[in-house]
Structure 1
């Protein structure tokens, strides 16, 4: 007797996904609720869990196949020993482990597999890394994709040193040079395909324009330096720059409603709330989780939301609900060293704020040349809805609030 494994409900407006990885193969023992498959959607990776315990049966969809919600993708057969992960055959030269040790090892394997996100599992398989040999840097010591990549790089570096030593003693040949010119083709993930389509669609359909300004970060840096320890002690979260820019953006969006609006057919939709999409880097690409009602939240709550999203993105555990909606986006290319950029809007939104790196520059203050920590900021907007005067004014409001953070307290 077998039990069907079907594609679960994926979230609002998501009707299909792509098979990203089979975590179980036919013949593997499966525990109830254990992940057997990883699905890639337009936004996140989702695990498909086993509805019952048993033995993995036929796989009815291959990696890369597009499958609709409710589609039958596998079967789980009745069988004994369900719940223990199958163990690879041991080397005949190795002594057989004691029964107690074997049971403990199997349980440990299952526990380890359960806490690995789909992105981490994929990285582990691709690079041949033993998860138990890598110390996790994620929350509660969880393994992240970056941990796996660092471990793989360190291993490859060690191997390269050994290979170089051997090469010095071996005669050179033309085939060695050819080995350095390999070409690798990797299928685009569904998320990367969606990012590509959405960004191209934004360029094709919106009348994109970008306005720039620069901001003296002295006041914000001073405030962070003065209060960061007290803030962290009271709220258990770091006081970052993003909270200041989020609150400053809320002031601008309230004063210039079109920047917080969107075009829907032949109508303009104005939002009386501010849901800020914060662009963060995830293992499979850029994602934009949403800080909801940012205009009503405190600095601490905004910073906590952003920190939680950053950790979830790193672990590959962001959900559909985390990224649903959004009326305005903030993207911080400065964390990667960007000096200036023209960000692309996140449809159907009409504007995006781009932040960049802070660097000391000579500026004229009251007729004197001074060195100040400056940041270029950019506002890209849909000119079909937002006029140039409105865009420039909104960016100036953000600039003024950052340079004089008191404005954030008195709503000015």
Structure 2
């Protein structure tokens, strides 16, 4: 009896997904609860696990195709490996027939395919990737792969790389080595003849060998759509300020060892920023609100999104009810989200909602930027790199660790006065961290 593999419920408002990768192939043994296929939605990547142990019988939806919730992806049959052996034997027979046919074809051209493949594989111990068209040219010309420089993505050897290698054997035209000559005419005027530059001979490079077309992932499509939506919908402006990080760095340095020992997580700067933002959002509720048609929706809770970069794109997991969390709980939540993001385990619940967002471009070295709103939110705070700069302190020049802050906001709901006040108040809390504990 077979068990169908179906698309599970994907979360609120998500009705379809794309097959990102099959982790098993037909005939493979599958254990109960073992991941079989990866699905990609517009928000997260998730794995579909086998509900029963057995052998993957068939795959009915290929990688890259879009499926709806409940759709059948494949089936798992009973057995522990017999099916795999049968399919592998059939596959082996097919490959043997194809190899024999290819060798026969190659011998008609004066050499066996096996020999050409061996010639083409010389110097391939470095596992350099070779594009199919390039591999054929290498085999036809009996070239050494190790002597060909790859210019394609991730160092792949393209057809043009092989052609350039072949052209290089005959040498390329070099610029003229002639010298400039000065001459005077009968009137005494001097003219200088400069030899014309001779461009090296080149071949036309086919465009297809220099480009690679890859379909955008569901997540990247959603990011693109939402960012464009923010620009088209909101009256977006950005205001800047800077904060002296001296006091915060001193507090962190003094207590980080004891903090980590007691709570099992490192004390970072993000918890200070989140707690400071919550304090100011309570003072300026418009920054924590959103526009819904002709209404303004004020949020009396503080779910702060923290932008996290992943190989698939930017995601924004939400730290819930930050006004009720301690510094340790904030850091533990962020640390947990970071691990889930790296492992691709973020759920829809982790990414849903949020009343305000903090983005930290400083981890990548950004000194200043203008973050884009995360709709339907009305504001986003951008953190940046901490950099020592000379500052005027009490009439003297001192070197201080400074950070630029940027607040992008929707001018439809947040006035300039509120935006500027928000940054000034956040700056005050961060430069005097004790105020966060006293809430003054």
User: Would the TM-score normalized by the shorter structure come out above 0.5?
Assistant: yes
CA distance 1:84–1:75, shift in 2 (3 Å): closer
Name the counterpart of 2:221.
193
Larger relative contact order (C-alpha < 8 A, sep ≥ 6)? 1
Contact 1:343–1:380, Cα closer than 8 Å, also in 2: yes
Using the TM superposition, give the Cα deviation of residue 85 of structure 1 relative to its aligned residue in structure 2, in angstroms. Answer: 11
Name the counterpart of 1:274.
302
Name the counterpart of 1:222.
250
Name the counterpart of 2:435.
407
Q: 1:364 & 1:261 partners in 2: Cα distance?
A: 37
CA distance 1:376–1:405, shift in 2 (3 Å): same
Using the TM superposition, give the Cα deviation of residue 64 of structure 1 relative to its aligned residue in structure 2, in angstroms. Answer: 1.6
Contact 1:275–1:328, Cα closer than 8 Å, also in 2: yes
Name the counterpart of 1:50.
50
Name the counterpart of 1:120.
none
Q: What TM-score results when the alignment is normalised by the length of structure 2?
A: 0.72
Q: 1:68 & 1:407 partners in 2: Cα distance?
A: 51
Q: 1:206 & 1:87 partners in 2: Cα distance?
A: 57
- Alignment map for 1:203-214 (pairs within 5 Å): 203-214=231-242
Q: 1:293 & 1:82 partners in 2: Cα distance?
A: 54
CA deviations over 1:128-173 (Å, ceiling 9, x no partner): 9xxxxxxxxxxxxxxxxxxxxxxxxxxx89x9xxxxxxx9xx9478
CA distance 1:398–1:36, shift in 2 (3 Å): same
SS of aligned partner of 2:345: coil
- Alignment map for 1:144-223 (pairs within 5 Å): 171=169, 182-223=210-251
Which structure 1 segments of 5+ residues have no match?
A: 92-126, 129-155, 160-166
Q: 2:42 & 2:360 partners in 1: Cα distance?
A: 22
Q: 1:58 & 1:19 partners in 2: Cα distance?
A: 15
CA distance 1:188–1:86, shift in 2 (3 Å): farther
Name the counterpart of 1:306.
334
Name the counterpart of 1:388.
416
- Alignment map for 1:260-299 (pairs within 5 Å): 260-299=288-327
Using the TM superposition, give the Cα deviation of residue 318 of structure 1 relative to its aligned residue in structure 2, in angstroms. Answer: 1.2
Q: What TM-score results when the alignment is normalised by the length of structure 1?
A: 0.77
SS of aligned partner of 1:58: strand
Name the counterpart of 2:61.
61
CA distance 1:381–1:318, shift in 2 (3 Å): same
Q: CA RMSD in A?
A: 3.4
Contact 1:250–1:295, Cα closer than 8 Å, also in 2: yes
Contact 2:289–2:378, Cα closer than 8 Å, also in 1: yes
Q: 1:340 & 1:242 partners in 2: Cα distance?
A: 17
Using the TM superposition, give the Cα deviation of residue 57 of structure 1 relative to its aligned residue in structure 2, in angstroms. Answer: 2.5
Name the counterpart of 2:77.
77
Which structure 2 segments of 5+ residues have no match?
A: 93-127, 130-153, 158-164, 173-201
Name the counterpart of 1:8.
8
Name the counterpart of 1:249.
277
SS of aligned partner of 1:233: helix
Contact 1:53–1:83, Cα closer than 8 Å, also in 2: no
Using the TM superposition, give the Cα deviation of residue 362 of structure 1 relative to its aligned residue in structure 2, in angstroms. Answer: 1.4
Name the counterpart of 1:104.
none
1:340 aligns with 2:368: yes
